[in-house]
Every structure is written in structure tokens, then in C-alpha cells.
Amino acid sequence: MIVNLDKCLHCGGCVGSCPTNAIFLNDFVLEFSSKCNRCGRCVKICPVHALTMEGKQ
Amino acid sequence: MKTYNCDVVVVGAGPGGSMAAKFCAKGGLNTIMIEKKAEIGAPLRCAEGVSKKWLEEVGIEPDPTWICADMVGAVIRSPSGYEFKLDESHAGSEVGYVLERHLFDKALARDAVAAGAKIMMRTSCTDVIKEGGKLVGVKCRSMGEEIVIRAKAIVAADGYESQVGRWAGIETKLEMNDIDSCIQYRMVNADIDPEYCEFNIGAKIAPGGYLWIFPKGNGVANVGIGVMAKFCKDSEPKKYLDKFIETDPRFKNSQAVEVAAGMVSTCPGLDCAVDDNIILVGDAARIIDPITGGGICHACRTGMYAGLVLTECAKKGDFSKEALMPYEKMWRDRMEDKLYRNWMAKERLAELDDETIDELVKLISGSDIKEVNVYNLLKVVKEKFPKVVEGFEDLI
Ligand SMILES: Cc1cc2nc3c(=O)[nH]c(=O)nc-3n(C[C@H](O)[C@H](O)[C@H](O)COP(=O)(O)OP(=O)(O)OC[C@H]3O[C@@H](n4cnc5c(N)ncnc54)[C@H](O)[C@@H]3O)c2cc1C
Ligand code: SF4
Ligand code: SF4
């Protein structure tokens, strides 16, 4: 997952919405674990579109 | 590895965590509350609107330090601009104060400390610890150091992120129609009514959610939006909010001085918010009003209930799921019907087209509602548009 740090507001929304609990927010930094199944939900619902998936547009 | 021992570890120092810590400490339990951020109550992820009634219920004395503005009423605006305005004479329960959340949250944390709780800042819980299948504490990163906090019970008060419960085995996953993705600007120099909270509804304004204007005095307001996640794909919340602010003349000479984001769950709460040695409170338990997104009062109530129940459990030395079940009963007795009713109402409202919403707002503005709350509004809807409330009319 690519995080656009200029956009991300570290709100934790993607963390709480991830169905596999694959994201961790350490105050200002998002960490993605191997549990991610590339469902794309976090990319879709981020209020400022700060996430993009590697290998996808 | 440095190890701390306590009776109860509370993860998260939001309103839910602080209330739980306060009532645990009051009950004589050795309580540690951890908070991953560098400041309690900041950065802001909230519109800061609360009603007044529940404060007494949870023993919080209104304090001018954290009350930013006093509301006399509310306005609901439909897509075509029909307004339903409630004045002072029937102001009521979904409005009340606009808070200074960073001060409110710190005041609750102070109360927890005064009761005897310890706080560890910049301490993130990264996992739970199980021994022989039993929860015995949490793993943390504290100021860059790996530590362990062992406890007889864990209060998961980690807010919307709700990870502690999941690590412990409680499923807190949400459906796409039960998530609202939000963004908010703190606007200054806005030409707005300082005493009314405004709710703008409709598919062309805020699909599946609403757009709020909560005044903070002096031309300052929290102007934000929640959009149902299933309608999001490319920063929809921001696009809709920007469009609204650009076209509304009240914001012509106004600018944003703060940007905040966040998400709220809009489901009726978890199927079960306890398990052996763990209780989930507030947003972590998905206990939040599915229509208004108001969760501060729910977090405070559930935090208090958790503290009271854990105090009782400590007397018997039993923190099993069964022993914790009184918590489940307390929050359900107090809130479940309303949460379920508002969840159903939210589902229906999200399906309505803007013409119907215009009709609805026209209709309620012609009715004689004494107090503005979701229940009273739904009663009018039930009379005139029974189809909208089909399936849950018994709860109205
Ligand atoms: C945009 C927006 C607007 C809102 N507007 C309103 C409103 O007007 N009125 C209202 O009543 N409610 C509103 N809400 C909801 C309200 O903010 C929440 O319901 C309320 O804050 C819930 O309190 P809580 O204690 O459960 O969680 P939170 O207040 O979210 O506190 C959780 C705390 O846990 C910490 N934490 C999380 N994970 C960890 C971890 N792993 N380790 C350590 N600490 C951790 C977080 O940093 C945070 O401080 C709004 C929400 C949003 C997103
Ligand atoms: S939802 Fe978006 S803004 Fe919020 S933390 Fe995730 S990436 Fe950042
Ligand atoms: S793509 Fe899906 S599984 Fe992966 S981090 Fe995002 S929400 Fe979680």
C-alpha cells in the first residue's frame, strides 16, 4: 500500500474499517501487515483518497 | 522486557477510556490507562456537538472550560433548501453544547487521575497477551520501548480503530453501509447563526450521511460531512464538503484553519461487547448513534458501566465473560432499542431520493414537535410516510 503522506490526516478510519485488521496507526504513521488481502476497501473509503494499492492505478 | 502489573489496563484515553479508568480507580482497582497519542483529545476527530441531559447521568458537571457554545436549537435543511427550524421553546435533546473536545477529554482524564488511575502517554497497545488461552495483559510500545502490562482485565477503549477487541478474538468488522467516512473544516469568519446547529441532508449534499455546521462562537464553526462508505471511491467526503462550502454564501469570506478526518460506525453495536477478561466500550464496541453519529455520551456511559461492573468483579476475583455480562445488560437496557431504531431509520433514509427528503422536511416543519430528537421526528414520519418506518414501527 502506498500512503500519500501529503494527504493522509492520520485519522485511523482505514484502520478501523479494514476487514482483516491489517493496518496499524502509530500516531502519524500507517503500518500495513501481511494480513492485507488487497480487498481495496481502505483505498475506496479514505475521506481524502490518501491510499493507493501497489500494482494498481 | 519491562513489565507492569495492575488490576485493569484501559487502552485509549478518549471519553470511554477515561470514564472506565475513573470508575475502576474509584472502586479501588489498580488501574493503568494507556494512550498512544502525544496529547489527549488532539488532534480533533469530532464535530463536538452533545446534548445536555446525559451529563448528569454519568456524573459530569458542566464546566465552562470545555463548553465552547450553548445551542438554543437546530435546523434541518433539505436538498432544495426547505428548512425545519426548532427555536428555543422546543430546543432539545440532539443539540445542547458545542464542546472544546481537547479540553473535555483532558478534564475526564484528570478526573480519572484524581480517582487514582495512572496514565501512560505515547504508549500504543500492539497486541494482547494470552497464556493458556487466557488474556493476561497487553503488549505495548511506550516511548519507543517494548513493554508488557499484565492485568486481570482489559478495557478496550481504543475508539473507531477497535483493534484490541479483534486481537482478543472479538469480531468488530463493519459492513460498508455501517461506516460513514468524514472530513471536517474549522471555518473562521463565517456568516452563520451562532446558536443553531445545522444538519443538511440529501443525496446530492451528503450521500447516506449528512453535512453539519456546528457553531463555536465568533464566526467560527465546525463544518463537516459524513458520507456512507458504500458511496465513496475517490475522496467523495472532501469533494462534497468543498462543493457545499464553495456555493454557500455564508462561507464567501470564510477560510478553514483546521482540517480533521475520521470515521464513525453506524451499526447498532456489537453482538456482544464482553469476553473473558475483556470489555469493549464506546466506539470500540461500535456503540454510537447510527443517525447522528453522536458517540461521546455513549462512550461515557459505557465507560462508566465498565468501571462499575469491573469493581464488582474484583470483589469476587472473577473476570470471566459470565461475570462481566452485567455490563452487557446495562448498556443494552439503556441504549439498545434506540440504537436499533436509529440504525433502521438510517438504512431507510439512505434509500430515499432527494424529492422525498424535501417532502419529509416540509412535512416535519409543519408539525408541532416539542423537542427535537430522532424519536420525535420519526413519529411524525411514521404518521405521514409509514413506508419509511416499515419493519421497525414497533420501536417508534
Ligand atoms: C468527524 C467526526 C465527528 C463526530 N462528531 C461527533 C459529535 O458532534 N458528537 C458526538 O457525540 N460524537 C461525535 N463523533 C463521535 C465521537 O468522536 C466518538 O464517538 C467518541 O470520541 C468516542 O469516544 P471513545 O472514548 O470511544 O473513543 P475515542 O475518543 O476515539 O478515543 C480512543 C482513544 O484510544 C486511543 N487509541 C487507539 N488505539 C490505541 C492503541 N492501540 N493503544 C493506545 N491507545 C490507542 C486513540 O488515540 C484515542 O485517543 C464524531 C466522530 C467523527 C469521526
Ligand atoms: S483513512 Fe485516509 S486519512 Fe485516515 S488514516 Fe487512513 S489513509 Fe490517512
Ligand atoms: S486493502 Fe483491504 S485488507 Fe488490505 S489494508 Fe486495505 S482494507 Fe485492509
- Report the predicted TM-score, pTM, of the whole model to 2 decimal places: 0.96
**Structure confidence by residue, pLDDT tens digits, B124-168:** 999 999 999 999 999 999 999 999 999 999 999 999 999 999 999
Q: Do B173 and A15 touch (CB under 8 A)?
A: no
Say if A57 falls within a structural domain: no
Task: Give the closest-approach CA distance of A1 to chain B in angstroms.
Answer: 16
Distance (Å, rounded) from C-alpha B384 to C-alpha B377? Answer: 11
Q: Which residues is B342 bridged to in the sheet?
A: none
CA of B364 to the centre of ligand 2 (A): 37
Domain segments of chain B: what residues? 2-46+102-174+269-343
Q: Does domain B2-46+102-174+269-343 have CATH number 3.40.640.10?
A: no
Say if A36 falls within a structural domain: yes
Cα B109–Cα B114–Cα B117 angle in degrees, nearest 5: 70
Q: Which CATH number do you get for residue A41?
A: 3.30.70.20
Decide if A10 touches B, using CB distance below 8 A.
yes
Task: Give percent above pLDDT 70 in chain B.
Answer: 97
Q: Which residues of chain B have pLDDT under 50?
A: 91-93
Ligand with the closest atom to the CA of B183: 1
Task: Give percent above pLDDT 70 in chain A.
Answer: 96
Q: Is B320 exposed, middle or buried (0-12, 13-18, 19+ CB in 10 A)?
A: middle
Determine if ligand 3 sits within 6 Å of the CB of residue A33. no
Please tell me whether residue B315 adopts helix, strand or coil conformation: helix
Say if A41 falls within a structural domain: yes
Q: Which residues of A touch B162 (CB under 8 A)?
A: 16
Say if A25 falls within a structural domain: yes
ipTM of the shown complex: 0.96
pLDDT at res. B171: 95
**Considering CB atoms only, which of A16, A24, A26 is closest to B162?**
A16
Largest CA distance in chain B: 66
DSSP B336: I
Decide if A41 touches B, using CB distance below 8 A.
yes
**Structure confidence by residue, pLDDT tens digits, B9-40:** 999 999 999 999 999 999 999 999 999 999 99
Residue B117 · residue B32 · CB < 8 Å? yes
**Structure confidence by residue, pLDDT tens digits, B62-84:** 999 999 999 988 899 999 999 98
- Nearest chain B residue (CA) to A44: B233
Amino acid making up residue B335: M
Q: From chain B, which residues contact A within 8 Å (Cβ)?
A: 36-38, 43, 45, 122, 124, 126, 141, 159-163, 166-167, 172-174, 176, 179, 181-183, 227, 229, 232-238, 259-263, 265
pLDDT at res. B365: 83
CA of B66 to the centre of ligand 3 (A): 37
Q: Is B298 exposed, middle or buried (0-12, 13-18, 19+ CB in 10 A)?
A: buried
Number of domains in chain A: 1
Say if A17 falls within a structural domain: yes
Q: What is the arithmetic mean of pLDDT over A25-52?
A: 95
Task: Give the closest-approach CA distance of A55 to chain B in angstroms.
Answer: 18
pLDDT at res. B89: 61
Distance (Å, rounded) from C-alpha B353 to C-alpha B202? Answer: 7
Say if A15 falls within a structural domain: yes
Determine if ligand 3 sits within 6 Å of the CB of residue A35. no
